[in-house]
Amino acid sequence: MMESIATEFRDQDFNAVGGMTMGADPIVSACTLLSGCWGLPLHGFLIRKEAKAYGTGKRIEGPLAKRDRVVLVEDVTTTGITLIEAAQVVREFGCNVLAAFTVVDREEGGREALAAEGIPLHSILGRKDLTEG
């Protein structure tokens, strides 16, 4: 996964990767681990559905800083609503969302919805990759 993200975004200057918990959790973990091993460490963060009334009380967990340049990730994209919500939270925090990356694009309008928000979607697999063959 990180190899795919690194290849896709090698020309973009981003320093943070994150997304909505639970779907993004393993992807963010893998990306931050590998980026550190490659000497190009990324900030990894997760976004909660809503802030909890206890603990840190934050909606964004992790070392995200204002003005970070962010690539959002998730496991499966259908309508794009989850990534759009994540982008809104991150933008309100003060970061720049460069793009979104998903493992599987179900090709049910997510790419178009994200494009309308100014967020290009990149994917490893599309619906046709899983159904043809």
- Predicted confidence (pLDDT) per residue in 4-57, tens digit: 766 666 666 899 999 999 999 999 998 888 888 878 888 999 999 998 888 888
Number of domains into which the chain is organized: 1
Residue 90 belongs to domain spanning: 2-131
Where residue 95 sits, what CATH number does that domain have? 3.40.50.2020
Q: pLDDT tens digits for 50-99?
A: 988 888 889 999 999 999 999 999 999 999 999 999 999 999 999 999 99
DSSP annotation string for the chain: -HHHHHHHTTTS---EEEEETTTTHHHHHHHHHHHHHTT---EEEEE-SS--SSTT--SEESS--TT-EEEEEEEEESSSHHHHHHHHHHHHHT-EEEEEEEEEE--SSHHHHHHHTT--EEEEEEHHHHH--
